[in-house]
Amino acid sequence: MKTEQRTIDTSTEAKSVEKLYMENTLLRIFGALFCHDPKRARTRTGKIDLNRGDKEKHLTIRLDPEYGQPGPFAHKVAIAVIKKQSDYGRPVRQTISFTERELMRLAGRTSWGGRDSEELASALKQIRYTHLIAHFKINARHVERDFSIFNEVMIERRDSHHDPIVACTVVLAEPIVQALEDEHFTCLNYKLMRSLSTIGQATYMRLFFHFANLYDGRNRNRLAFAKRYDDICVEWLGGLVVAQHKSKIEERLGSHLAQLVQVGFLSSYSIEKAKTSPEAGGFVLTFRPGAVFFEDYGRFYQHRQQGTIQWDFHNDQREIATPLQVAYLFTEKRTGQPAASIAYVNSKDVETAKQLLREVTFEEMPMFIDYALASARKTDFNVQSLGGIKQYLGSYKAARTAIAAAGERKRREQVEKEAEAERIAYDAHRRKQATNLFKSLKGEEQDLIREQARRKAGTFNGSLRVRMEDHYISSITAQRHSHELDTFDHWKASRG
């Protein structure tokens, strides 16, 4: 579907409005990704195809066989993450961090316990391990990207895996962040969304997107959007079971659509038998926007009012994300496990990470951890916690200059090694070019070069003399016709 792009002015501060910036492709994926029937969600696996047969806009959602399809609570968690990212403001942030109460409150929970924590962990995993395979076209080239909406999830628990989650950090996929930077998004009314069920939220997002694309500022009284009911179940509501009778459709969706009418986003909706292909059966739902849509459209797109920044990204990074990353890095280096396989880190290690970050920068932390673990191994000290390496901080600082110098020497050696390898590769390329060029020269020129090569190779005997003669032929050809061979810079550029 062709999407009209609109630019939101990020420089004008106006009255506070709760906005949510949803990347357009992600908005479309949300509808199929999240199933709003929790029982059905747990058992669904396999693939969901969107725009099958369209090579330029084909999307495949690959569900994880262990965690199943993300359900209603996962939908709330994902909306909470996108909302907080929206509230960070510009530039678009890839890393979003939460305390336990913060995330649960944003996800609509009023209490917090072990069961809630495990439901949160399950929801995060459902989203994290669901893969999206996107096919699209860039500069006449067909491109495929395989990614998860949550590229990484880091979790802090108090001590063991039985303890509730204390904090978490979510890293969004790069394609989503890039699209938001390019302003390919739809602006939504988050305050209105909070009052809706998850089915109401999913329906609202898609309808706002379509109404905004259809509205031209003059067709207010004629504006409507119609869609087949069975397509809504698949594309908007994550595969809800399709009802066969109008009364059942009203029974299943009526209360959610009534919410949208009650809050003023819809003025009305209708459910009618499909007029096209009547033999195939089916129903069509037609939606008409209410006053709230036009108010939000004017606020978001015409008057370009920017919501206030509600969250301090740098504080979240300092207090949650960066210490979590350090604790995960330590566990990864200590155990040899990749970060993706580490289920959580404990609060004690996170607190120690905050203390260490006052002494060592985040960029320097990998070098310090390597130094400390190496020092511990020398004395057969089996380090189990981040606190165990604090004792090496003093000696690390003393040795830091020598370590940095050694690192610089290693870097220079690597640069020299790469430069030498490049020179050898270029020489081989130039010799090959010269050999091919020699074959194309006129007979008189070939005879002249061959005679010079024979004289130069005259001091060698046997098969070596033949090889050296060939070597001198390419060398003399390169000297006499250097303007016809690639320069080093041209060769290097062509390799790049």
Q: What is the pLDDT of residues 18-41, one digit of tens each?
A: 889 999 888 988 999 999 988 888
Q: Is residue 17 within 8 Å of residue 307, measured between CB atoms? A: yes
pLDDT higher at 489 or 104: 489
pLDDT of 162 strictly over 90: no
pLDDT of 126 strictly over 90: yes
Angle at alpha carbon of residue 195, lines to 191 and 201, rounded to 5°: 90
Residue type, 201: Q
pLDDT band, residue 124 (cuts 50/70/90): very high
| Residue 183: both structure tokens together | 């302003």
pLDDT of 311 strictly over 70: no
Calpha distance 398→357 (Å, rounded): 17
0.85 exceeded by the pTM?
no
Q: Mean per-residue pLDDT for 318-326?
A: 94
The predicted-structure confidence for 229-241, as pLDDT tens digits, reads as follows 999 999 999 988 8
pLDDT band, residue 17 (cuts 50/70/90): low
pLDDT of 202 strictly over 90: yes
Task: Work out the burial of residue 389: count CB atoms within 10 Å of its CB; fewer than 13 is exposed, 13-18 middle, 19 or more buried.
Answer: buried
Peptide bond into 91 cis (omega under 30): yes
Closest CA to 51 of 21, 25, 23, 78: 25
- Residue 124: how many CB atoms within 10 A of its CB? 24
The predicted-structure confidence for 379-404, as pLDDT tens digits, reads as follows 999 999 999 999 999 999 888 878 77
Mean pLDDT of the chain: 86
Closest CA to 301 of 177, 200, 224, 217: 217
Buried (b) or exposed (e) across 243-259, using 16+ Cβ within 10 A?
beeeeebeebbeebbeb
129: Cβ contacts below 8 Å, ≥ 6 apart: 64, 66, 67, 148
462: left (phi over 0), alpha (psi -120 to 50) or beta: left
**Phi, psi (deg, nearest 5) at residue 200:** -60, -40
Strands (E), 139-176: 141-147, 150-157, 165-172
Q: Counting runs of H as helices and runs of E as strands, what totals does the chain give?
A: 19, 13
pLDDT of 142 strictly over 80: no
Calpha distance 394→254 (Å, rounded): 67
Sheet of 266-273: strands edge to edge? 225-228, 283-289, 266-273
Centroid of chain to Cα 72: 22
The predicted-structure confidence for 32-83, as pLDDT tens digits, reads as follows 999 998 888 888 888 888 766 556 677 889 999 999 899 999 999 999 999 9
Closest CA to 440 of 477, 413, 395, 488: 477
Strands (E), 184-340: 185-189, 225-228, 266-273, 283-289
pLDDT of residue 150: 93
Strands (E), 274-353: 283-289, 345-346
pLDDT of residue 310: 60
Domain edges within the chain? 19-302, 414-495
| Residue 49: both structure tokens together | 């195809």
Q: For the chain, how big is the Rg over CA atoms in Å?
A: 32
Residue 465, helix vs strand vs coil? helix
Residue 214, helix vs strand vs coil? helix
pLDDT of residue 90: 84
pLDDT band, residue 226 (cuts 50/70/90): very high
pLDDT of 469 strictly over 60: yes
Residue 149, helix vs strand vs coil? coil
pLDDT of 8 strictly over 70: no
88: Cβ contacts below 8 Å, ≥ 6 apart: 96, 309, 311, 313
pLDDT of residue 141: 72
Calpha distance 274→61 (Å, rounded): 28
pLDDT of 306 strictly over 90: no
**Phi, psi (deg, nearest 5) at residue 277:** 50, 60
pLDDT of 138 strictly over 70: no
| Residue 233: both structure tokens together | 């179940």
pLDDT band, residue 275 (cuts 50/70/90): confident
- Residue 288: how many CB atoms within 10 A of its CB? 19
Angle at alpha carbon of residue 231, lines to 247 and 214, rounded to 5°: 105
